[in-house]
Amino acid sequence: MAVPSAAVQPRSSILSRSLSALSESRNALGFGFMLPAAALLLVFLTYPLGLGVWLGFTDTRIGRPGIFIGIENYQYLWDDAVFWLSVFNTLLYTISASILKFVLGLWLALILNQNLPFKSFFRAIVLLPWVVPTVLSAIAFWWIYDSQFSILSWALMEMGLIDHRINFLGDPENARASVIAANVWRGIPFVAITLLAGLQTIPQSLYEAATLDGASRWQLFRYVTLPLLTPIIAITMTFSVLFTFTDFQLIYVLTRGGPVNATHLMATLSFQRGISGGQLGEGAAIAVAMIPFLLAAILFSYFGLQRRKWQQGGGD
Amino acid sequence: MAEIKSAATRKTKRPELDEGGMGYLQSLPRRVVTVYLPLLVFVIVLLFPFYWMTITAVKPNLEMTDYANFNPFWVVHPTFEHIRYLLFDTSYPGWLLNTIIISTAATFLSLLASVFAAYAIERLRFSGARQVGLAVFLAYLVPPSILFIPLSVMVFNLGLYDTPFALILTYPTFLVPFCTWLLMGYFRSIPFELEECALIDGASRWQILTKIVLPLSVPGLISAGIFAFTLSWNEFIYALTFIQSSENKTVPVGVLTELVRSDVYEWGALMAGALIGSLPVVVLYSFFVEHYVSSMTGAVKE
């Protein structure tokens, strides 16, 4: 009786020991824990990213697998005026909307950082434009910008500021300004609330010390607030620029790229050529052409605006 | 990271006395011009589209287009005709149901994957954990606008085209990086000592995760869940590309593509659709607004 049990005993303990060794091993356990997330991301993010680059070198259409055609798509786009117009539009849209979002968002954050009655109430309602689905708020803007029944035109006419209705989305210049305004409207809350969080980490004692030293209000802002806020400004604006650059929904709802491609962004052009037009290869090439710009934006904010040594408490 | 934590504690522990800072140095007229007036303008501009949405949703068609006899800013005879039309004569309820199912499923899937990933990166510290953490962050920076074309090819080849699974499986591409990053921040705030005690008492890693770390990070899980749910609810480009048939659409896509017919714009129904489609997210968010703000700012500060 004792023999088999003695034989079984070590084997099971070896098994359990190796099992427990496995569960104690950080690498094995880490691998196991990472598996679900890694599988999802590798299959639905990394692989499509590579596939997108590959599609950009093929003439794939919807319903027909393509063959490798080298850089023909890119050569075609290089000579395509509409593509360059979309690049220009995207840059104009991103730069002007980001600057406006930053200035207005910072202003709103500074206001909300004051000692206000109903502080948390204001913070909550200010975030609303950011929480609501973009497409749905864009539909509201579509109605606000209506060529015939625009409430803005009506109000301005009632006030006697203009004498005829504004053609918000029908005229190229107006359309650009209108979509930028709608984007800024949606983006202000995000910038304001994140910068507000940054403002709240600045100790009051610094302001008190600077005031005792005779600093004016502008100097307080310029030499205390702004330097201490720079790191969070960098992160916030990087995100803001990335999301504005790759924006699709707002344009798709308001103008679909019109009038005469004046508001086509690279993302909407990529959708129009790739999905609506069925030229998957060309659409993918346009999407890939966005990557260098995104990388440039990330690197710029990383190297240009990262924490200086003195902000971390070190010497200069 | 240390300065962030100390900043966070400073924020919560700051005495009431300090709350106003040096605000008392400002006179009231000055405050009106520099603070209250701009704030009023900001609030009016930020909220006006919602007011306009609501007022249009309950306005009879006659009043909506007759600006000469009716002040457009107000409604004389409110009507529920548009909302009735939306709920009973269109596929809107179906879109709502689709959106709820897809958002919930994508959120659970992403949270499940993110909890394990965040714990592994933050606490197991396997070799290469730092690099993996960075890769997760970079994954968050990959925008859907450059993924939708290759993903549509994949979705089609996998036979998922025009099914809810196309969206449930692709939404995690932006949810998992975000939730993982957010949860990593939460796990980091849980003291190591708790885990060491548990290890000495003979707890396995699994027990530590389920009995110590997860109960302590419920607020983080809630905010990650709300975030993920909101992001999936708002998603547009994948839903537009991967879904074809009307009955499978989500609210944002359905409202835009099905309620807009050639030239007759049903503005009342459109606004009602936009309003009702926004409500769930707004309600959810208003319950957890504090979590929301703190986690958003926390996530950004990382």
Q: Which residues of B touch A30 (CB under 8 A)?
A: 120, 124-126, 129
DSSP 3-state of B265:
strand
Q: In this predicted model, what pLDDT tens digit does every residue of A61-88 receive, in sequence order?
A: 887 888 888 888 899 999 999 999 999 9
pLDDT of residue B294 exceeding 80: no
**Per-residue model confidence (pLDDT) at position A311:** 52
Q: Which residues of B touch A248 (CB under 8 A)?
A: 144-145, 236-237
**Per-residue model confidence (pLDDT) at position B220:** 85
Which is more confidently placed, A220 or B27? A220
Percent of residues in chain A assigned helix, strand, coil, to nearest 5 = 75, 0, 25
Nearest CA in chain B to A235: B300
Instruction: Supply the DSSP symbol for A149.
Output: T
Query: Which of B20, B72, B286 is facing A154, going by the closest CB pair?
Result: B72
pLDDT band at A103 (very low <50, low <70, confident <90, very high): very high
Question: Is residue B210 in a domain?
Answer: yes
Residue A18 identity:
S
Write down the ipTM of this complex: 0.83
Q: In this predicted model, what pLDDT tens digit does every residue of B140-152 receive, in sequence order?
A: 888 999 999 999 9
CATH number at residue B127: 1.10.3720.10
Query: Which of A236, A275, A284 is facing B241, going by the closest CB pair?
Result: A275
**Per-residue model confidence (pLDDT) at position A50:** 93
Structural domain boundaries, residue B169: 98-246+278-299
Please classify residue A12 by burial: count the beta carbons closer than 10 Å to its beta carbon, then call 0-12 exposed, 13-18 middle and 19+ buried. exposed
A61 beta partners: A64
Mean pLDDT of B86-91: 86
Instruction: Supply the DSSP symbol for A307.
Output: P
Q: Report how many domains make up chain B.
A: 1
Tell which of B103, B145, B155, B235 to mutate to test the A interface (max A CBs under 10 Å). B145
pLDDT of residue A1 exceeding 70: no
Half-sphere exposure of A134 (CA within 13 A, CB side): 23
A58 beta partners: A68
Q: Which residues of A touch B267 (CB under 8 A)?
A: 143, 146, 149
Per the CB < 8 A criterion, the answer to whether B11 and A199 are in contact is: no
**Per-residue model confidence (pLDDT) at position A45:** 92
> Can you tell me the distance from the alpha carbon of A176 to that of B34, in angstroms, rounded to the nearest whole number?
31
Shortest Cα distance, chain A CAs vs residue B145, angstroms: 6
- Those of residues 65-104 in A touching chain B at CB distance below 8 A are 104
Q: Which residues of B touch A60 (CB under 8 A)?
A: 153
Mean pLDDT of A51-61: 90
Shortest Cα distance, chain A CAs vs residue B85, angstroms: 18
pTM above 0.90, yes or no: no
Q: In this predicted model, what pLDDT tens digit does every residue of A190-247 receive, in sequence order?
A: 899 889 888 888 888 999 999 999 888 889 999 999 988 888 888 888 888 998 999 9
What integer best gives the mean pLDDT of chain A? 85
Contact state of B7 with A126 under an 8 Å Cβ cutoff = no
Q: Which two tokens stand for residue B167?
A: 């969206």
Nearest CA in chain B to A281: B149
Question: Is residue B84 in a domain?
Answer: no
- Classify A81-308 by CATH class: mainly alpha
H or E element at residue B37: helix B37-57
Q: Which two tokens stand for residue A173?
A: 């210049």
> Can you tell me the distance from the alpha carbon of A244 to that of A233, in angstroms, rounded to the nearest whole number?
16
Contact state of A124 with B289 under an 8 Å Cβ cutoff = yes
**Per-residue model confidence (pLDDT) at position B151:** 93
> Can you tell me the distance from the alpha carbon of B273 to that of A137, in angstroms, rounded to the nearest whole number?
11
pLDDT of residue A112 exceeding 50: yes
* Candidate from B103-112, B163-172, B213-222 with smallest mean pLDDT: B213-222
Q: In this predicted model, what pLDDT tens digit does every residue of A256-298 receive, in sequence order?
A: 887 888 999 999 999 999 998 888 999 999 999 999 999 988 8
What integer best gives the mean pLDDT of chain B? 82
> Can you tell me the distance from the alpha carbon of B302 to that of B299, in angstroms, rounded to the nearest whole number?
5
Question: Is residue B202 in a domain?
Answer: yes
**Chain B touched by A221 (CB under 8 Å):** no
Contact state of A34 with B116 under an 8 Å Cβ cutoff = yes
Integer angstrom CA distances of residue B35 from A296, B20, B27, B30 = 37, 14, 11, 8
- Those of residues 247-276 in A touching chain B at CB distance below 8 A are 247-249, 252-253, 266-267, 270-271, 274-275
A64 beta partners: A61
Which is more confidently placed, B18 or B290? B290
Contacts of A45 (CB under 8 A, 6+ apart): B139, B142, B147, B173
* Candidate from A119-133, B15-29, B243-257 with smallest mean pLDDT: B15-29
Mean pLDDT of B7-31: 55
Determine the angle formed by the axes of helices B92-119 and B218-234, rounding to 10 degrees: 140
Contact state of A136 with B124 under an 8 Å Cβ cutoff = no
pLDDT of residue B14 exceeding 50: no
Per the CB < 8 A criterion, the answer to whether A213 and A257 are in contact is: no
**Per-residue model confidence (pLDDT) at position A264:** 92
Per the CB < 8 A criterion, the answer to whether B119 and A33 are in contact is: yes
Shortest Cα distance, chain B CAs vs residue A228, angstroms: 12
Nearest CA in chain B to A26: B126
**Per-residue model confidence (pLDDT) at position B218:** 85
pLDDT of residue A148 exceeding 50: yes
Contact state of B132 with A34 under an 8 Å Cβ cutoff = yes
Residue percentage of chain B with pLDDT more than 70: 85
Half-sphere exposure of B170 (CA within 13 A, CB side): 34
pLDDT band at B73 (very low <50, low <70, confident <90, very high): confident
Mean pLDDT of B261-290: 80
Which is more confidently placed, B12 or A167? A167
Distance in angstroms between the alpha carbons of the first and the last residue of chain A: 78
**Chain B touched by A242 (CB under 8 Å):** yes
A68 beta partners: A58
Q: Which two tokens stand for residue B173?
A: 């591409």
Question: Is residue B20 in a domain?
Answer: no
Residue percentage of chain A with pLDDT more than 90: 39
Q: Which residues of B touch A126 (CB under 8 A)?
A: 42-43, 46
Q: Where are the domains of chain A?
A: 81-308
Q: In this predicted model, what pLDDT tens digit does every residue of A171-191 receive, in sequence order?
A: 888 999 999 999 999 999 989
Q: Which residue has the tokens 């070190």?
A: A314
A–B CB contacts, 8 A cutoff, strictly below: 293
